Structure 1
Amino acid sequence: MSLGVADGVGGWSNMGIDPAMFSQALMFHAHRYSKGAWAGEPETDPTQDLDEPVEGWELTPQECIDLAYGGVLREKAVTCGSSTACVINLNASSGLLRAANLGDSGFSIIRSASLLHVQPPQTHYFNCPKQLSKIPDVMKWDGSIVDHPRDADVYSVNLQGGDIVIAYTDGLSDNLFPKDLLSISALVMRANSPPDELAQTLADRLVLYASQCMWDKKRPSPFELGCVASGQYWRGGKVDDVTVVVALVSEDA
């Protein structure tokens, strides 16, 4: 199983470019490559009775981003743009999670009501994330930012039943603190609902709360604290789009 998020860099809108074009194309190509690949060890499908080799090939998250980025560079419909990228593979047999993250999108893993991992953002400087870019030669200048999939941070961990994996864009992490993820997750997981409904409900609740907090000028936010640390003035949340994908881990007997 693979999941991921990408967030188009909004600065392109100042030049009349839709920032969503690049990020949507990036995830389209990531899906195209990942659906024919295997998430990792072993090289047989644990969901099948027969011990037959899996059709396809093993594809790491970093390789997936690299292939998807190449697809965007060849995509004629996308003339220019930039995006962050976060891709996560979950191995159904071994429980191994592998991830690659470039920029200030990211993911968190919750285990037993505690944060097992919070992916730190990658930035060139405050509020300027590392990013994959497609920039025509006529638009390039000395300050152009063009990072590469090999620059992505990679991470792996063995998951356990009950773990919660939350992938998100910075619209969430700029407005909610890690403790907010824990609180909302604890409330949602109390419900006696099927796992797929719980995952969707948690994603919806996180998006809703982040959307409320971004307009609140009286509530301190991670973005406000980041501004203070960089010598800038800002109050409250940061208005931005929010994307959240949630995966719940279960162990079948």
Structure 2
Amino acid sequence: MLSKIHNGVPFKYLIASFQHQPRPTFPRTSPLPLRSRPIRTFSVQSILRLPDSKAQTGSRHKFTYDAAASFSAKHKDFNAATHVFHFNPYNRIQTQKRPKSKRPASGQDAFFISRVGESNAVAFGIADGVGGWEDSGVDPADFSHSFCDYMASAAYEHKPDAGDPTLTARSLMQRGFDDVCRDGSIHAGGSTASIAIASEDGMLEVANLGDSGFVHLRLNAVHSYSEPQTHAFNTPYQLSIVPASMLARAAVFGGAQLCDYPRDADVTQHTLKHGDILIFASDGVWDNLFNQDVLRLASRRMVSLGAWKTSDGGILVADDLKPFTQSLAEDSAQRSSTLQSVIATDIAAAAKTASKDRRSDGPFAKEVQKYYPEEDWHGGKVDDICVIVVIVSEEGKQQAIKSKL
């Protein structure tokens, strides 16, 4: 029997291959059901709108996306002023893998946001490095951050006119994984992945593998959300590079290394509307906040700033979201903030606080109590935290409404 577990105490690991499995989990004495979650429920001064597409998409209005990310490494203090990244579509994506010194301070969690070629489409995603690889002397951040760098580069350089196939969320995940596998500096490691492409005609495609995931908010409600993929409790699907030496030992002594592939990802399509909010995050958020917690945080900001307006008929979206997504000046401390960055930092800060709370039980605590009541786990789960927030705007929305008056 394992020793008692609580906040800040390292997890034990399942026996796999040569006494190692690249993901922390609890002891397993009988088959476990797949993990089910209660309903979950780098910085510039301003956000620029995406450039007009050179080709018409056939839809009446084009969609644009304003994005920001916030993050916090495990056991590090969170600073909302510096632990934030504002997406600028005009910034050139570095086409080579960044050195460690240039990575955001997000620990083993990684993210990317990139234009897709010269279009209005945007690709973005979260990758959570599998911490269990540390037991084998592997830095899990090398896999996750490189994986995101390669996907950002592939999206940015995508040229459909040059004969490239249509870029999908799963194919982008595959390209990133292939590039990591070819990277001679990465000999082992793994990560979960939640990858999305939002097209200029208002369609969202998501490929989700593991327990990172997303929620889609619309008019003060959770419109849709992802379900985590797990092999067993706290053992998510994961992309992996497993050294030949590990495979050889597994063949001799038994056991198996977890190694899933982009083809195993759940792929979903979603139709977007003006004023929708997309929130993608690692399990550092979803293990500590329910969907309804995230909705309340986003709704409070949207309503207080006027991007969502209350009326007798419910919630209405402001015709023009540009004043909110390009800059905010609530006070001197938030002059360089944007709607999306404020929501992202609110969520990251709330998840950070909940992760260190030893009294209020979050989603992870409730699942431990369900499957392992003898462990007496209470409070949050300390982990790396990473969140991307995307605000959806429909170009021409304001003009279309005025024409009806």
Q: Same fold (TM over 0.5)?
A: yes
The higher radius of gyration belongs to 2
Q: What residue number does 1:147 align with?
A: 260
Q: What residue number does 2:184 align with?
A: 76
Matches within 5 A, 1:1-253: 1-37=122-158, 57-92=165-200, 94-140=201-247, 141=250, 142-189=255-302, 190-191=304-305, 194-196=324-326, 197-232=338-373, 233=375, 234-253=377-396
Percent of paired sites with the same residue? 35
Kindly state the Cα deviation for residue 191 of structure 1 after the two structures are TM-superposed: 1.8
Kindly state the Cα deviation for residue 143 of structure 1 after the two structures are TM-superposed: 2.2
**Secondary structure at 1:187 match in 2:** helix
Work out the CA distance in 2 between the residues paired with 1:237 and 1:95: 36
**Secondary structure at 1:99 match in 2:** strand
**Secondary structure at 1:116 match in 2:** strand
Kindly state the Cα deviation for residue 79 of structure 1 after the two structures are TM-superposed: 1.2
Work out the CA distance in 1 between the residues paired with 2:273 and 2:384: 31
Kindly state the Cα deviation for residue 139 of structure 1 after the two structures are TM-superposed: 1.8
Which consecutive aligned stretches of 4+ in structure 1 deviate over 2 angstroms post-superposition?
Answer: 53-57, 140-143
Work out the CA distance in 2 between the residues paired with 1:6 and 1:83: 6
**Secondary structure at 2:145 match in 1:** helix
Work out the CA distance in 2 between the residues paired with 1:58 and 1:163: 25
Deviation by residue 1:140-160 (Cα, 9 ceiling, x = unmatched) = 322200101000000101100
Counterpart of 1:137, as a letter, is A
Work out the CA distance in 2 between the residues paired with 1:230 and 1:30: 36
Kindly state the Cα deviation for residue 137 of structure 1 after the two structures are TM-superposed: 1.0
Kindly state the Cα deviation for residue 228 of structure 1 after the two structures are TM-superposed: 2.0
**Contact between 1:37 and 1:58, CA under 8 Å: does it hold in 2?**
no
**Contact between 1:108 and 1:115, CA under 8 Å: does it hold in 2?**
yes
Deviation by residue 1:53-87 (Cα, 9 ceiling, x = unmatched) = 69854210001111110100011111110100111
Counterpart of 1:252, as a letter, is E
Kindly state the Cα deviation for residue 188 of structure 1 after the two structures are TM-superposed: 1.5
Deviation by residue 1:4-27 (Cα, 9 ceiling, x = unmatched) = 010000111122211111001111
Work out the CA distance in 2 between the residues paired with 1:252 and 1:106: 27
Q: TM-score, normalised by structure 2?
A: 0.57
Distance 1:136 1:164, change over 3 A: same
RMSD: 1.6
Work out the CA distance in 2 between the residues paired with 1:158 and 1:180: 24
Work out the CA distance in 2 between the residues paired with 1:33 and 1:226: 37
Work out the CA distance in 2 between the residues paired with 1:152 and 1:104: 11
Counterpart of 2:392, as a letter, is V
Aligned residues: 239
Work out the CA distance in 2 between the residues paired with 1:13 and 1:191: 43
Work out the CA distance in 1 between the residues paired with 2:153 and 2:289: 32
Work out the CA distance in 1 between the residues paired with 2:151 and 2:363: 29
Work out the CA distance in 2 between the residues paired with 1:199 and 1:213: 21
Work out the CA distance in 2 between the residues paired with 1:183 and 1:91: 27
Kindly state the Cα deviation for residue 187 of structure 1 after the two structures are TM-superposed: 1.3
Higher relative CO (Cα under 8 Å, sequence separation at least 6) belongs to 2
Deviation by residue 1:149-199 (Cα, 9 ceiling, x = unmatched) = 000000101100010000100000000001101110011112256215110
Kindly state the Cα deviation for residue 132 of structure 1 after the two structures are TM-superposed: 0.3
**Contact between 1:21 and 1:78, CA under 8 Å: does it hold in 2?**
yes
Work out the CA distance in 2 between the residues paired with 1:143 and 1:211: 34
